[in-house]
Amino acid sequence: MVKKLISIFCASILLSTSLLGGCSKAPDESANSENKTYNIGISQIVEHPALDDARKGIIDALKEEGFVEGENLEIDFQNAQGEMANAQTIADGFAAAKKDMIVAIATPSAQAAFNATKDIPVVFTAVTDPVSAGLVASLDKPGGNVTGSSDAAPMEKQFELIKALVPDVKKLGVIYNTSEANSVVQVDQAKAVAAKLGLEIVEVGITSVNDIDQALNSAIGNIDALYVPTDNTVVSSIPLVANKCIENKIPVISAEDGAVKGGALATEGINYYNLGLQTGKIAAQILKGEKPAAIPVGLLEDTTLVINETTAGKLGITIPEELKSRAEFVK
């Protein structure tokens, strides 16, 4: 009997903790508009350097625009730890707490947020194709309560970079995780861009980090250079990819700069912190009263050329003067 009571007692403690916990982040409605504290929820799908950089950028941009955490801004940051069911729970929680805005980092978190609310503004970042994801009607006129910044890589610039650094390139391998929606979109895009520039794309598909070694082994004989899109799985193993390619004298061009620091040859690409800054500015606009429906989805026009000197040396590549002058070098 005692044990039964203990079980029921503990179950009730558990229930009340979670219910009370669910109440803890309600906005302070009694504040007047001058001293208004904005409550925003940030929903991120998983721990990842690029995504974390984007988040920092958002918070810094909001600060620049006058929304300072701890003063007039309360941030509730929740991480789904890779499980989509959790992304839904997080989004539902934010909606129930009637946050002033939800910031969603990566596609599944953005989709979950859009599902949870059609009223609260949702600002996304690190979503490569918001139209295919069903989040916006079009990039120019989102049309709903969702807008943000896309991390679509400026692929044409990047492929031109490849041609500048590796003039004889004909076959370009693209390595990506087949289950990352963003990556698949980029592969399709790559095929279109490559056709225009006279390159042939060789797809190198993997399902997890464990496949990378073998996949590269079979592909290396067949490609002149390798392109790494913004793919979470591949980027997290960039040292492995870079080393293997350097050994086999295959230049690696990546879509963002983190990979270059990890050993890839070069990128003309996105800096996720800058992407975050751009997203943060959009978020600030909305907090100041603009409607998401009218704010076009931002694309990062501002690209940075980053070249890895050590890798260039190992591959025996001479960097054209024109590129040297505007490049940022890393070792």
Partner 1 sequence: MAQLLDFSINVLQMGLIFAIMVLGVYITYRILDFPDLSVDGSFVTGAAVASVLLLNGVNPFVACVAAFVAGLGAGFITGFLHVKLGITNLLSGILVMIGLYSINLRIMGKSNLPLFSNETIFSLDVHPLVVIAAFALVSKLLLDFLLSTKLGFLIIGTGDNPDMITSLGIDTGKMKILALMLSNGLVALAGSIMAQYQRFADVGMGTGIVVMGLASIIFGETLFRRVSIMLPTTMALLGSILYRFSIGAALNLGLSPTDLKLVTCVIIVFALSAGNAHRFTGVKRLLKGGLANASIK
The residues of the shown chain that bind partner 1, judged by CB under 8 A, are 2-4, 6-7, 9-11, 14-15, 17-19, 21-26, 44, 47, 76-86, 88-90, 92-93, 95-98, 107-108, 111-112, 114-115, 132-135, 178-181, 184, 207
Smallest distance from the beta carbon of 70 to partner 1, in angstroms? 14
Torsion region of 143: left, alpha or beta (phi above 0 gives left; psi -120 to 50 gives alpha): left
Q: How far is the CB of 91 from partner 1 (least distance, A)?
A: 9
143 within 8 A of 292, measured Cβ to Cβ: no
Decide if 42 contacts 75 (C-beta within 8 A). Answer: yes
Q: Are 94 and 120 in contact (CB under 8 A)?
A: yes
For residue 27, give the DSSP letter: -
134: left (phi over 0), alpha (psi -120 to 50) or beta: left
Give whichever of 85 and 221 is closer to partner 1, judged by the CB atom.
85
Least separation in angstroms between CB 94 and partner 1: 10
User: In angstroms, what is the minimal distance from the CB of 167 to partner 1?
Assistant: 34
Alpha carbon 33 to its chain's center: 34
> How many Cβ atoms are within 10 Å of 12's Cβ, its own excluded?
10
| Closer CB to partner 1, 47 or 203, in the complex | 47
Q: Which residue's CB is nearer to partner 1, number 15 or number 31?
A: 15
Alpha-carbon Rg for the chain in angstroms = 23
| Least distance in angstroms from the C-beta of 178 to partner 1 | 6
CB of 78 to partner 1, least distance (A): 5
Using the minimum distance from each CB to partner 1, give the nearer residue, 84 or 195. Answer: 84
Ramachandran class of 150: left when φ > 0, alpha when ψ lies in -120 to 50, beta otherwise: beta
Nearer to partner 1 by C-beta: 207 or 214? 207
For CA atoms 190, 192, 197, 203, give the dihedral sign: positive
For residues 131 and 197, which CB has a smaller minimum distance to partner 1 in the complex? 131
